[in-house]
Amino acid sequence: MTARILLVEDEAITAMDLQRKLEFQGYDVIGIAHSGEAAVELAEKHRPDLILMDIILRGPMSGVEAAERIKDLDIPVVFLSAHSEESTKYGFHEGYLESIRVSWGEGRYSEGPTGRSIKEGKPVIIRDTENDPSFAPWRDEAIDRGYMSVMGLPIRVRDENIGALTVYSSEKGSFDPEEVELLGELAGDISFRLESEIVLGEMDKRITELERREELFREIFESTPLAILNFRVGDGIQLDELNRAASVLTGLETAGGERIEDVLSGLHEDDLKEVVRAAERGDDSRWERLQYCNGDSVKFLELRTVKTSEDTVTVFLIDHSPAEN
């Protein structure tokens, strides 16, 4: 049986996006309420299996107040919020989280549904908080607030249980297999979202580091006295990039697909042919003293060709001309 979900969200675009994602995952969105009042009305009319409730709603009734009205229907409510609101933290029974202690280490505070679900990596259900001895440390506070059943579901990120989704019910004996499956899927979605955030954060760091390295490389590329020319190998060998030193040496300000024969035309004809052949083959070749004429000036260059990628050959030039007096 497909789980029936009531979506309470006052932002129309956000609501449509959530509806699309839920329906894509196989859930039946039985309605969308844009206010607290509408949420109460639709909950009473359709009796959904689960309500996804935005905390902050337009109008006089907030999501927390709507959940308070709906709680007698014994429908699980999961709060959604992009804000850091006190109401999000405390739910509609303010003070409960402040009054309890939960652990997943050792001792009596680790034997409840939250601690055990984290330690054991599986859902843990207390169907009678009033009489279950393992729930003794939290019994009084829970009963005062009408919590008669509790379920803890592990939140797992990168093969490690890092927390739990804890769900409370006002009735004893709650959480049938279908509800356990539904809430298990919700815990899985939370785990996926948290892991995605971690992965995206790491990717952002890597991208930032790559950008920093690229910027550093670019500074070195432009500031080195070594003339560097990158040629694209394909239909001929064409200039793709050159640095400042290469621009001064060749007289080219920018790269625009010029042929290697034209870029290095200052070389002696026989030397140029050898360089072109080496570039075509992708050889790592080196010439220690080549004469290079540029207008009235004559320079003596060390030249090296290196295949730097599948379709790129880089030419390095070092000027060994005697210093002019």
Rounded Cα distance, 279 and 276, in Å: 5
Give pLDDT, residue 203. Answer: 84
Rounded Cα distance, 233 and 192, in Å: 44
**Is residue 148 included in any domain, yes or no?**
yes
Number of CB atoms found within 10 A of residue 308's CB = 12
Check if the beta carbon of residue 298 is closer than 8 Å to that of residue 292. Answer: yes
**Is residue 206 included in any domain, yes or no?**
yes
Same domain, 70 and 107: no
Rounded Cα distance, 57 and 76, in Å: 19
Which residues form the domain of 73?
1-82
Per-residue confidence band for 84, with pLDDT thresholds at 50, 70 and 90: very low
Same domain, 139 and 239: no
Q: Is the pLDDT of residue 95 over 90?
A: no
Most confident of 52-61, 184-193, 253-262: 253-262
Number of CB atoms found within 10 A of residue 203's CB = 10
Handedness of CA 265, 271, 275, 276 (dihedral sign): positive
Q: Is the pLDDT of residue 267 over 80?
A: yes
- Identify the residue whose tokens are 């109008």: 59
CATH of the domain at 45: 3.40.50.2300
- Alpha carbons within 13 A on the beta-carbon side of 302: 7
pLDDT one-digit tens code per residue, 152-176:
999 888 888 888 888 888 889 888 8
Check if the beta carbon of residue 116 is closer than 8 Å to that of residue 135. Answer: no
- What's the total number of domains in the chain? 3
The C-alpha angle 126, 76, 176, rounded to 5 degrees, equals 50
Q: What is the 3-state secondary structure (H, E, C) of 202-252?
A: HHHHHHHHHHHHHHHHHHHHHHCCCEEEEEEEECEEEEEEECHHHHHHHCC
Same domain, 133 and 215: yes
- 94 alpha-carbon distance from chain centroid: 33
DSSP 68-100: HHHGGG---EEEE-SS--HHHHHTTSTTHHHH-
Same domain, 116 and 191: yes
CATH of the domain at 144: 3.30.450.40
Instruction: Report helix angle 63-70 to 36-46, nearest 10.
Output: 30
pLDDT one-digit tens code per residue, 7-23:
998 887 778 878 888 88
* Residue 49, amino acid: D
**Is residue 155 included in any domain, yes or no?**
yes
**Is residue 234 included in any domain, yes or no?**
yes
Give pLDDT, residue 82. Answer: 47
